[in-house]
Amino acid sequence: MTLKRLAPVALLCAVTLIQACSSLPPERRLIDDVIAALGGKVVVEGVKTLRIEGSGTAYLLGQNLVPDAELPTYKVTDYLRIIDPSASRSVTQQTRTVQFDFAGNPVTRSHAGLDADIAYNVSADGNTTRASERDARDRRLEMLHHPVTIVRAALDPASTLANFRQQGDDDLIDVTTTHGDALTLAVNRATKFPSRVQHKAAHPNLGDVTITTAFENYQDVNGLKLPSKFVTTIDEYPQLTIEVTANHINVDVPNLAAPDAVKSVAVPVPPAPVVEVEPVGPGIWWLSGSGNHRSIVFEFEDHLTLFEAPVSEARTRAVIEKARTLSTKPLTHAIISHHHFDHSGGLRVAVAEGLTVITHRLNEPFFKMLVDRPFTIEPDALARAPQPLKMELVDDSIRLKDASMEVQLYHLLDNPREGTNLYAYVPRDRMLVQADLYDSTWLRHPWGESVLQNFQQRKLAIVKQVPVHGARESFADMVKTIKAKARA
């Protein structure tokens, strides 16, 4: 065959190829561009394992000094993330060291694994236990917050690609996986590198949130382009920043499969909250039970007031139901000691139950925001039955008093950890009721002296303390413990 006869055939093939490419949906063309930018289809599909080592910063959401202050942080070291994309397996290990005043162990180590639909945790002594179904879903989505895994998921014929659009310097598409997980991939228009992956999730305090991982500083690793920095946020709140010190592909890694003993165990289901009642004074009850978050009920002449709506909707609902069995008087108010999420976790159910919230004035805009947020992914009591937020705000102090009961509320002043904290004092019983000022089980009491100075400034004659955390004990024992373990 002559060159003259070959030319029309080659031209026809080229035209056919161009037409075929131009007929691809824009979502698939974008994925093809990303694959080419990362190193090509052979390289991307040839990834058997990813091993990511690094260090960085983690942020403690819902635990800042005041609601609009910067979040407390952990220093993250020994960060190791291993991913097997083909088997849908991953392991993340890290050590976190607190960078703020903290009463517990300042160093924590975690080892979290995923084997397809099975999530598991490995303790420091090597004991492996199965994690919840929610953990499995969260880790499956987290595994897709990586350029290689999200692109490979997009290549799966069973996945759906849709909604090509542009936003700033990025092209965006939506990817729905075979599990039904929905994520958005953003790609830099100039480099064709993935700039971020994000998905919607249900947060117990914030409701509907967007979890985003941004990718920065791509580097070549044996022909594959990989980011050397990961920045994860929950809405506008920083969550985790990892600076990669080493990226490895297709190296020997430990067995990522869940042990057979874990696979054979049923998925754990959170137990129903248990609320136990103990009278601690005339018309005062201590509501304890499961966990280390207690609530206290005060009985006034014509109503009941709850101190603390903690942890979650489930815990606070159980506490409210128990409180209503203590008297025929209506439960009308809930004192929320401070804004930290483990103490305001029941805010929305308290509002749904029609309770008036008593809290420090600095919490007002934050609590309004929490009440107004959408909860459509996992509707809670307030989403199902909306009620207006009713608040009584405290600046420095307030006295709740009638013929039956007197409760004085004071703002904790000049404390390095608690900026909006209210504690209660019952003069009749010389009783302190408090949350996060003191816990008999804490390893150290770094802000204990500040707490004692507050009591002296208020001229409170405390004899006993009834806590949200820890055991009840005399004030003398509380002082003794604080002084012995102030900076242990």
Domain end among 236, 263, 290: 263
CATH number at residue 369: 3.60.15.10
Q: Is 10 within the bounds of a domain? A: no
Instruction: Say how far apart CA 191 and CA 171 lie, in whole Å.
Output: 11
In this structure, the answer to whether residues 255 and 362 fall within a common structural domain is no
Q: Is 8 within the bounds of a domain? A: no
As given in the structure block, the two tokens for residue 118 are 């099975």
In this structure, the answer to whether residues 198 and 301 fall within a common structural domain is no
The mean per-residue pLDDT over the stretch 343-362 comes to 98
In this structure, the answer to whether residues 296 and 442 fall within a common structural domain is yes
Q: Is residue 8 very low, low, confident or very high in pLDDT (cuts 50, 70, 90)?
A: low
In this structure, the answer to whether residues 307 and 443 fall within a common structural domain is yes
pLDDT tens digits, residue range 132-186? 999 999 999 999 999 999 999 999 999 999 999 999 999 999 999 999 999 999 9
DSSP 8-state symbol, 361: G
pLDDT at 119 over 70: yes
User: Please, which residues bridge with residue 187 across strands?
Assistant: 171, 194
pLDDT at 450 over 90: yes
pTM summary value: 0.93
In this structure, the answer to whether residues 212 and 239 fall within a common structural domain is yes
Instruction: Say how far apart CA 181 and CA 408 lie, in whole Å.
Output: 50
Q: Is 14 within the bounds of a domain? A: no
Domain end among 225, 243, 263: 263
pLDDT of residue 349: 98
Q: Is 33 within the bounds of a domain? A: yes
Instruction: To the nearest 10°, report the CA torsion of 239, 241, 246, 251.
Output: 20
In this structure, the answer to whether residues 98 and 169 fall within a common structural domain is yes
pLDDT at 17 over 50: no
* Percentage of the chain lying above the pLDDT 90 cut: 94
Q: Do residues 406 and 426 make contact, with C-beta atoms less than 8 angstroms apart?
A: yes
In this structure, the answer to whether residues 428 and 280 fall within a common structural domain is yes
Q: Is residue 427 very low, low, confident or very high in pLDDT (cuts 50, 70, 90)?
A: very high
**CB-based burial label for 473 (10 Å; 0-12, 13-18, 19+):** middle
In this structure, the answer to whether residues 259 and 150 fall within a common structural domain is yes
pLDDT tens digits, residue range 193-228? 999 999 999 999 999 999 999 999 999 999 999 999
Residue 97 lies in domain: 26-263
In this structure, the answer to whether residues 295 and 406 fall within a common structural domain is yes
pLDDT of residue 21: 53
pLDDT of residue 22: 60
pLDDT tens digits, residue range 271-315? 999 999 999 999 999 999 999 999 999 999 999 999 999 999 999
- Rounded to the nearest angstrom, the gap between the alpha carbon of residue 78 and the centroid of all alpha carbons in its chain is 21
Instruction: Say how far apart CA 324 and CA 314 lie, in whole Å.
Output: 16
How many domains does the chain fold into? 2
Domain end among 263, 298, 333: 263
Q: Report the chain's mean pLDDT, rounded to a whole number.
A: 95
As given in the structure block, the two tokens for residue 69 are 């202050």
In this structure, the answer to whether residues 82 and 156 fall within a common structural domain is yes
pLDDT of residue 486: 74
Residue (of 439, 338, 417, 344) closest to 72 by Cα position: 417
Q: Is 20 within the bounds of a domain? A: no
pLDDT of residue 2: 45
User: How does DSSP assign 216-237, residue by residue?
Assistant: EEEEEETTEEEEEEEEEEETTE
In this structure, the answer to whether residues 385 and 253 fall within a common structural domain is no
Q: Is 453 within the bounds of a domain? A: yes
pLDDT at 122 over 90: yes
Q: Is 446 within the bounds of a domain? A: yes
Least confident of 4-8, 86-90, 429-433: 4-8
Q: Is 7 within the bounds of a domain? A: no
246-281 as b/e, with b when 16 or more CB fall inside 10 Å? Answer: ebbbeeebeebbbbeebeeeeeeeeeebebeeeebb
Helix axes 26-38, 147-155, angle to 10 degrees: 140
In this structure, the answer to whether residues 235 and 312 fall within a common structural domain is no
CATH number at residue 221: 2.50.20.10
